[in-house]
Structure 1
Amino acid sequence: MSDDAARLDEAAAALLALPPARFTAARNERAAAAGGALGRGIAKLRKPTVAAWAVNLLVADGQLGEAVELSRALHEAQDDLDAAELARLGRQRRQLVTALARRAAELASEAGTPLSAAITDAVEKTVNAAVVDPAVAAVVLTGRLVSAIDLADLDPSDLGAAVAGSVPDAAPASAPRDDLTARRARKAAERAVREAERARADAEREKAAVDKRLATARERADRLRERVEGLRADLRRAEAEADEADEAVTEREEAQRDAAAVARDAARALERAEAARDGGGDA
């Protein structure tokens, strides 16, 4: 690519990221400043549609990289005839395309040009085309789109009309067989890593649950030990009090016996005194 072509692409990318309402004035000003062949090339740049401009915002915002990676993954899954992977990636593609169209609407609103429902639909179709078709992806990722792209109406020979400046070469849709084999091995290794990570996460969750149960059991055991020690202390106090009560009973029993003996002696003395009294009266 010549220096003039590279400079034209650079100028186109900068101008096509501007809101469409500002494009014409900015283009003419830049063309006049550049002059020469470059200036003439800039002056010929077409004003982008609002949908194309919104897609350019996504590119400038770095939002389409994941879509392109998904496109490559889709082609790999098709090469591998992996039905489960195709179904999963299909769902992921639809979710991603919808999210990117919503993000484009947010960027456009922030730039002062809200998107209508029809324009948002055109953005969504363009992003979907980039995900599905490597040639479209290459054009879209330049950030120099001037018109939206719909796969249903796309003529590959006209794809260059949708982009300002040079037309990039499309990345190959599939890789050589050796590269495909390597990718399959990588995918198998990645699946093994994901499964190992899931197993580790499951094990960590189980360990956390076991740790929690162990802590609860230890806490309960500590409480029971404290209760046992308290009961033992109560038992020791009760036994000591029982021993003291037994000693008091013994002392009182001895006092009772002594009192009973004294009472008997007193009764006998009384009997003798009464007998002596009664006998003296008879004399």
Structure 2
Amino acid sequence: MLEIADELYALPLGEFTPARDARAKALKGGDHAGLAGPVKALRKPSLAAWVLNLFARRAGEQVEQVLAVGAALREAQAGMSGPELRELTKQRRQLTAAITTQARSLAREEGVKVTPAVADQVEATLTAAMVSAACGEAVSSGLLVVALSTTGVDEDADRATALAAVAVPAALGHVAVPREAAAPARPDLRVVPDPDAGEKAREAAQDAVDEAEEAVEQARAAHDEAAADVEQLRARQLQIEAEIDELKRRIAELEETYDEVDDELGDAEAVREEAHDTLEHATAERDAAAAVLAGLS
């Protein structure tokens, strides 16, 4: 299964689906019929994943260098200070940006245009490969189906992310088989009628419909997830507003209570001053009486 996946994910992006379906169909009538279902279930890679798979096969040595640098940086950053970590992050970004440029160039040679948005996904995946060993294995396998993103904080979570991003679980630990660019095909000037042209056209149309349906489902899932996030945040916003209103009400009560206490404090201070004057007067009369008594003794 791993060998079949490696062959399929090495193909040009547009050839993946028909080649996968043809391989699954061929397996049904052979000794490995049990592989037909798993092969048919292999997911078509996203454009970013395909670019990274292409790079893993055409520039495997550079991928190894990237992963080696990533491992060294992960080991070194443990004892680094803030400024050193910022410099490390800058160097990592420069390296991933340079590799992304090379990957885009390889894709261009294959006639595939990589948009800035896709390039960002490629660079994010390369960054994930540098900060996470599991993500690095996923990239070097050449069997990515989606782009990767991680902070490298939780190794178990990173491994789960990497497993979800590859075609088959056995991809982690597998290194993509190197493949050179195909030589340009010589033009065939013979015109040979294809008796199966109609059937092939229908199959191609059906594949296009299937891929479109898959894209719709993915878009719907993304929309539903975003809608759920909006509702959750709206509910949180309402809760915070209610808490703010309650705090304002409490502050108003406390301010009112403060004014009352301030008034009572003023009255109490006035009473205290009057009592103090009375005490001083009584003390003076007592001292005078004591002095008279002492003079008569």
The normalised TM-score by structure 2 is 0.50
1:69 to 1:158, Cα distance in 2 relative to 1, 3 A = closer
Query: Do the aligned partners of residues 80 and 152 (structure 1) sit closer, same or farther apart at CA in structure 2, a change above 3 Å counting?
Result: closer
Alignment CA distance shift 1:68-1:152 (3 Å): closer
Match of 2:8 among 15, 36, 41: 15
Paired residue for 2:94? 95
Corresponding residue number in structure 1 for 2:292: none
Structure 1 equivalent of residue 24 of structure 2: 31
- Residue 160 of structure 1 pairs with residue 163 of structure 2: yes
- What letter matches 2:109 in structure 1? E
Q: Aligned residue for 2:77?
A: 78
Residue in 2 that maps onto 1:189: none
How large is the Cα RMSD of the aligned pairs? 2.6
More helix by share: 1
Kindly, what percent of the aligned residue pairs are identical?
Answer: 38
The equivalent of 2:132 in structure 1 is 133
Per-residue deviation, 1:84 = 8.3
Give structure 1 regions of 4+ aligned residues with deviation exceeding 3 angstroms: 79-92, 152-159, 167-170
Q: Which runs of 5+ in 1 are unaligned?
A: 1-7, 171-283
CA contact (8 A) 1:15 1:26 kept: yes
Is structure 2 residue 45 aligned with structure 1 residue 52? no
Aligned pairs for 1:1-283 (under 5 A) are 8-35=1-28, 36-61=33-58, 62=60, 63-81=62-80, 89-151=88-150, 156=158, 157-167=160-170
Q: Aligned equivalents of 2:5 and 2:75: distance in 1?
A: 33
What is the CA-CA distance between 1:158 and the residue it aligns to?
Answer: 4.0
Q: Secondary structure at the match of 1:114?
A: coil
Task: Find the structure with the greater CA-based Rg.
Answer: 1
Question: SS where residue 94 of structure 1 aligns?
Answer: helix
Q: Is the 8 A contact 1:77 1:85 kept in 2?
A: no
- Say if 2:141 and 2:172, in contact at 8 Å, map to a contact too: no
The number of residues matched between the two structures is 163
Aligned to 2:203: none
Q: Report the CA distance shift for 1:95/1:129 in structure 2 as closer, same or farther (over 3 A).
A: same
Quote how far apart the aligned CAs of 1:81 are. 4.1
| Uncovered stretches (5+) of structure 2, i.e. residues with no partner | 174-297
1:82 positional shift? 7.8
Q: 1:155-208 CA distances to partner (integer Å, 9 max, x unpaired)?
A: 5434322100124568xxxxxxxxxxxxxxxxxxxxxxxxxxxxxxxxxxxxxx
Letter in 2 for 1:39: A
CA distance in structure 1 between the partners assigned to 2:3 and 2:84 by the alignment: 38
